[in-house]
Amino acid sequence: MKKLLLLLAFSVALFTGCSGKKDSQEFHIGFQLYSVRQDLARDFYGTLKKVSDMGFEGVEFFNEYSGNTPSQVRQMCDELGLVIFSNHVPFADMMSDIDKVIEESRILGVEYITFPYMDVPSRPGVNPDRFKETVKAIGEIGAKVKAAGFQLLYHNHDFEFAKLPDGTVGHDYIFSSNSSENVQVELDVCWADYAGFKVDEIVRKYAGRIPVLHMKDYYQEGKLDSDPYALIGTENQGGGNRSGGRGRFEFRPLGKGVMNFAPIIEAARASGVKWMCVEQDDPSAGARDRFEGPEISIQFLRDNLPAK
């Protein structure tokens, strides 16, 4: 009997190890599917399976399903053991039909609905008054989302860290102007670092209000004369390269760029972060495909995240 129990225990351990997914770490490890957007368009289910096989516990969509319905997407992810923990939904969609957004979110089973991007005319460094109006509207959407049983998150880039005329940092204004119940933080660590801020300090500042971190790395050489985000989404032969003036910017897998993740991870432990979400907007130059970077990044997290 003892031999049988030992054999069963060994079999379970072997199966769990081969699955690639671990629940022994303090954080859940997720993946923003924008990183493999072209692959999804070519082979939606096959791409999700690759993401699952890499060991990611959950995925964050970007409101694109390659012709599939939210019900079909949910079924596929359930089959593959992927939690759909969040979805990036364009602000225009939230403003035009929040009821539809909420219904689709309910079908997908997300916990978070995330504001992904602020258009140029609404940014704090471009039009402070319009920025404040947009922030107020975000809060109103957040209240509706909260009443429906979800949590609204705001995902930053670098431009939110511009200062308003009174000296307030735009990113701070978003959250100081709205309650923590209505608007919480999904911090993109790469863009906060690129903007010149100490990421671990931001994480600690929003302790209890920052359930998700977007984990990405980058490399910068020289000084750009334009915002590197302006070229994101364009397909070029240089992978993640963005050039401007005498400078160069490139997205990198975790641990392969300029970021120092140790203090960020420690701050995340102390601040109640639940999900470490890998994102690499574009591959590094020379990468074999869009999966190479995420594979390196998830292994970096496995090696560096603390155990429960």
pLDDT digit string, tens, across residues 158-189: 999 999 999 999 999 999 999 999 999 999 99
Do the domain assignments include residue 56? yes
* Phi, psi for residue 302 in degrees, rounded to 5: -60, -40
Domain assignment present for residue 252? The answer is no
- Least confident window among 56-60, 90-94, 227-231, 289-293: 227-231
Residues 59-72 have pLDDT tens digits of: 999 999 999 999 99
Please name the residues in contact with 198: beta carbons below 8 A apart, sequence gap of 6 or more: none
Under the banding of pLDDT at 50, 70 and 90, the label for residue 193 is very high
In this prediction, residue 220 carries a pLDDT of: 87
Q: CA-to-CA distance for 233 and 308, rounded, in angstroms?
A: 37
> In the chain, helix, strand, coil percent, each to 5?
45, 20, 35
Token code pair at residue 251? 């997205």
User: At which residue do the structure tokens 């471009």 appear?
Assistant: 126
- Residue 65 located in a structural domain: yes
The DSSP H or E segment spanning 186 is: strand 184-188
d(C-alpha 26, C-alpha 6), whole Å: 28
The stretch 77-89 carries a mean pLDDT of 98
Q: Does some domain include residue 245?
A: no
Nearest to 191 by CA among 212, 216, 164: 216
> What is the CB neighbour count within 10 angstroms for residue 48?
23
- Is there a domain that residue 32 lies in? yes
Give tens-digit pLDDT for 229-286: 654 433 333 345 555 555 678 999 999 999 999 999 999 999 999 999 999 999 999 9
CA distance 232 to 62: 15
> What tokens appear for 267 in the block?
């701050």
| Gap between the Cα atoms of 269 and 203, Å rounded | 10
Residue 68 in domain: yes
CATH number at residue 173: 3.20.20.150
Query: What total number of domains does the chain contain?
Result: 1
Helix (H, G, I), strand (E, B) or coil at 259: coil
> Domain limits at 66?
25-216+257-304
Q: Which residue has the tokens 């993640």?
A: 240
With contact defined as beta carbons under 8 Å apart, do 275 and 241 qualify? no
State the pTM of this model. 0.88
**pLDDT classification of 191: cutoffs 50, 70, 90:** very high
